[in-house]
Chains A and B, each alone.
Chain A
Amino acid sequence: MGSLTDQLGDLVEDADVVLLFSPTASFYNRFEGTDSPVAVVAAENAVDAEEFVELPLPFENVRDRIRFGIEGAMDADVVDEGDEVVCVISIFGDAIDSVVRVSVDSTIHTGIYDLFVNSRADPGVIRDVFEVAIELGQKGQKGKPVGALFVVGDAGKVMNKSRSLSYNPFEKSHVHVGDPIVNVMLKEFSRLDGAFIVSDSGKIVSAYRYLEPAAEGVDIPKGLGARHMAGGAITRDTNAIAIVLSESDGLVRAFKGGTLILEVDPEEY
């Protein structure tokens, strides 16, 4: 019969790279001296790992987390297409409890890492906007779900491809996403119609913007409404990304280059 280790050993056999997701220092030290290269994927490099991929969101969806880690490792040239990657990750709770083996091929590439790291706006700004959208999705207004559309980056061009629906409440203000005041203003946000425009450095440029992009060739899943269509289309027309909170199903979606990149359920955070 043999022990479980014998049966499951082939899961980690001849792995090219090991990805550790948010390991503790002692756990990381255990991997010192192993044959295959080790990379750490975590919110911050607490273990001083040589190869490190920063996780901007704690992606509750494990597939997204693994995808982000692998794409980040590919960007850092730790992983190449065709490699066998073993991910050591936690699915339930905080402690590491799972080993996932992934074959890296072209289908793994969804652009989720690209969305955060290689967009015009700073990664920190995109993360902050995500957090605002997720919090807005959790709270809603008076218990009712609300929708919102944030267009992040390339603000000058976006402003020129949109028009104002009403007076801009952010005119001559210097509010940045991530400022503490933004959390206080969240409830107000949900009342405003139209899109929020956020600049590369995170300044909220305008609210109440009606986007007027050319919507040709935008490929977003059928069934999503006008807000998603407008958001998706503006990312095709400019170098911005769009982060959309859906009023009907409560999901936060991110668009880049006219395609849907990421779906996040605020209730899971």
Chain B
Amino acid sequence: MRNLIGIVLILIVASGVFLCLDNIPFGASRENVGDFYNSSGVKQTGAVNMVTSVVLNYRGFDTLGEVTILFIASLGLGAVLSTVKTSSREETTPSSLILSTGCRFLFPFILLFGTYTFLHGHLTPGGGFQGGAIIASGFLLRYLGCPAKRTNPSLFVALESTGGLVFTLIGLLGLTLSGFFLFNFLPKGEANTLFSAGIIPVIYIAIGFKVGAELAGIIDGLIVKS
């Protein structure tokens, strides 16, 4: 009976949604802010990846909010799991020599790949969040493959706070130098080179470290405390 009511409600909502979607043809171009970003983005921001210029320059404040949300998640995890005793795990089978050596061998390469992704965020698809997630997956590999090595959680906390603070301070610096928060005040350079696009690579480096440290800290908290 409950399932039937649910399905009827869903059908009603679906028909309403369909009426609305009728006005939005799939694959047609919208001519408004999107076209403006595509046509004058390179000149105004210096980055060749338009998504990066939207994320960090035109809508940079949203990115600051997003970085804050990840910070809240890691703080909330610390607060909720703070009184859980670290469980004494029963002795699982220690990993074989091939597995643990392989994991330790791959770890620096994964970190390198993640760093490449966030460093070139303004030139190729990628950026701080994607690079940070790759770095965190390297840490996850190490936790699963050779569980004996643990990283000090204080390192993660220090890195994430510093990353967030750097982002906000760059914004405030832009405010004092030119009257707009998050103004792109460093020289824009020549498009398509590594040292271009003003503050965008700097912010992405800060975000890359922050997100990597945060996700690795979340993984560390969940593995250790459960």
Co-complex (A, B)? no
Which B residues contact A (CB, under 8 angstroms)?
none
